[in-house]
């Protein structure tokens, strides 16, 4: 009888160990906090955005991340539509790996602010990605990676990827050492249980690291072929700034939904089960790529030669 129970017990232990990899309570609490009204929609150059930056910095400090810049802030200037010069702040922390090869794990924390008296909190866009970044920083603070992992919450994505463009133009490490960017933008809301991973059209070798058959939610490959026009997401979020520098990327996101760029993009409207599953699945992919870091240089060299 006991022998018959062994496979069941192993499965239970495996599932239990997987559930401990991401602190579900922390990631949901972070998302609820960052999409709160008090941040006033986190528009670049506003008090709300500054408050959001301080919230992320506080979490970086709690997790023991190291910093390349004073108080984790990579400061830059950006001009808005009214020709006003604003101050943007990328929030950058890192965990040293076993090699000098680098993975950049990113999302953007800015959103649309207040429009016609209504606060656009951007729970999915993109507080969800930022809080996943925090979850991965928490995990790798306890499990040293092979790569040095740079965790970035970009500012000014909504103004044309300005934060990530500044980052790659003024990188804290040699760009040659950045082997891949993992970017997340809108990973918390999908009624079909589908999460897209874009980038393998440009870098087919990455397919082997993405679990598409066993993951929950279901991970689909696509939205990265130039022939798709507006459905090509290559340059539609911060991974585009890395791709422009010939740095491989995987972008995780969902298709547009009814709350996209609306005041209804609130914490109460995300799918919590979907979101936590997405955060866990992406972590497994990051771990898989990190464990095979020696292959990434070959992949990148092949892409550049082609």
Res 117 pLDDT > 80: yes
State the average pLDDT over residues 30-49.
Answer: 99
| CATH tag, 24-305 | 3.40.630.10
pLDDT grade for 13, boundaries at 50, 70 and 90: very low
- More reliable by pLDDT, 15 or 48: 48
Per-residue confidence (pLDDT) for residue 299, from 0 to 100 = 57
Q: Strand, helix or coil at 177? A: helix
CA angle 35, 172, 205 (to 5 degrees): 80
Average pLDDT score over the chain: 91
Q: Where are the domains of the chain?
A: 24-305
Per-residue confidence (pLDDT) for residue 215, from 0 to 100 = 79
Least Cα distance to 123 among 276, 274, 265, 271 occurs for: 265
Please, are residues 46 and 60 in contact by the beta-carbon 8 Å criterion?
no
How many Å apart are CA 65 and CA 141, to the nearest integer?
Answer: 8
Res 133 pLDDT > 90: yes
Q: 36 forms bridges with which residues in the sheet?
A: none
State the average pLDDT over residues 123-130.
Answer: 99
Please, are residues 243 and 234 in contact by the beta-carbon 8 Å criterion?
yes
Please report which helix (H) or strand (E) contains residue 31, including its range.
helix 24-34
- More reliable by pLDDT, 303 or 276: 276
Measured in whole angstroms, the distance separating CA 189 from the mean position of its chain's CA atoms is: 15
Please, are residues 166 and 74 in contact by the beta-carbon 8 Å criterion?
yes
Q: 95 forms bridges with which residues in the sheet?
A: 149
Q: What is the DSSP letter of 123?
A: I
Q: Strand, helix or coil at 217? A: coil
218-221: strand order across its sheet: 73-79, 85-95, 148-154, 102-108, 178-184, 249-253, 194-198, 218-221
- pLDDT tens profile 160-186: 999 999 999 999 999 999 999 999 999
What are the distances in angstroms from CA 108 to CA 118, 157, 184? 21, 6, 8
Helix 24-34 vs helix 47-62: crossing angle, to nearest 10: 160
Strands 194-198 and 73-79: unpaired
Res 141 pLDDT > 90: yes
Least Cα distance to 133 among 219, 19, 258, 238 occurs for: 238
CA angle 295, 22, 213 (to 5 degrees): 55
- pLDDT tens profile 97-106: 999 999 999 9
Please, are residues 146 and 290 in contact by the beta-carbon 8 Å criterion?
yes
Per-residue confidence (pLDDT) for residue 280, from 0 to 100 = 97
Res 237 pLDDT > 60: yes
What is the pTM (predicted TM-score) of this model? Answer: 0.90
How many Å apart are CA 81 and CA 265, to the nearest integer?
Answer: 24
- pLDDT tens profile 204-229: 999 999 976 777 899 999 999 999 99
Structural tokens at position 77: 């200037």
Least Cα distance to 199 among 240, 166, 227 occurs for: 240
How many Å apart are CA 240 and CA 251, to the nearest integer?
Answer: 9
**Torsion sign, CA atoms 98, 135, 245, 162:** negative
Res 77 pLDDT > 80: yes
First to last CA, the chain: 59
């Amino acid at each position: 009888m006991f022998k018959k129970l062994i496979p069941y017990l192993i499965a239970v232990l495996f599932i239990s160990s997987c559930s401990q990899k991401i602190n579900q309570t922390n990631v949901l609490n972070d998302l609820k906090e960052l999409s709160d009204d008090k941040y006033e929609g986190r528009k670049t150059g506003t008090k709300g955005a500054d408050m959001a930056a301080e919230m992320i910095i506080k979490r970086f400090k709690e997790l023991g991340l190291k910093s390349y810049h004073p108080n984790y802030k990579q400061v830059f200037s950006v001009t808005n539509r009214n020709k006003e010069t604003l101050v943007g702040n990328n929030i950058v922390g890192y965990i040293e790996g076993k090699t000098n090869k680098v993975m950049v794990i990113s999302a953007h924390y800015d959103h649309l602010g207040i429009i016609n008296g209504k606060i656009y909190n951007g729970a999915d866009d993109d507080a969800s990605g930022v809080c996943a970044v925090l979850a991965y920083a928490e995990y790798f603070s306890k499990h040293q990676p092979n790569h040095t992992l740079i965790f970035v919450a970009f500012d000014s994505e909504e103004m044309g990827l300005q934060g990530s463009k500044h980052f790659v133009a003024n990188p804290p490490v040699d760009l040659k050492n950045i082997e891949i960017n993992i970017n997340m933008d809108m990973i918390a809301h999908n009624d079909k249980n589908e999460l897209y991973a874009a980038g393998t059209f440009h870098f087919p070798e990455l397919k082997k690291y993405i679990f598409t058959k066993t993951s929950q939610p279901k991970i689909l490959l696509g939205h990265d072929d130039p022939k798709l026009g507006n459905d090509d997401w290559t340059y539609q979020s911060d991974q585009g700034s890395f791709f422009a520098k010939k740095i491989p990327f995987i972008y995780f996101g969902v298709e547009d939904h009814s709350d996209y760029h609306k005041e209804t993009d609130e914490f109460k409207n995300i799918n919590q089960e979907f979101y936590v599953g997405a955060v866990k699945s992406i972590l497994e992919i990051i771990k898989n790529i990190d464990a095979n870091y020696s292959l990434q240089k070959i992949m990148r060299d092949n892409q550049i030669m082609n």
